[in-house]
Amino acid sequence: MKIYRFLTDDDSSQFCHKVTEALFKGWELYGDPTYAHDATVGVMRCGQAVVKEIEGAYSPEMKLGAQ
């Protein structure tokens, strides 16, 4: 089964580390990254979708980041 996550964070090295950690854990990039201004706090925000093939069935209670 393929699972999906959308990672977000401020435009900083923290976002890059979050994506790198997901790749290290076997997730794969899915599509292009996104980049938008968050006017509420005045910062740029980044997003990246990632997917991963896992064994078993989907459950809404699963913690995707722990897969």
Domain extents in the chain:
2-56
pTM value surpassing 0.95:
no
For residue 5, CA distances in Å to 30, 40, 45, 48 come to 9, 24, 16, 8
Quickly count helices (H) and strands (E) in the chain: 1, 3
pLDDT digits (tens, 9 = 90+) for 8-29: 999 999 999 999 999 999 999 9
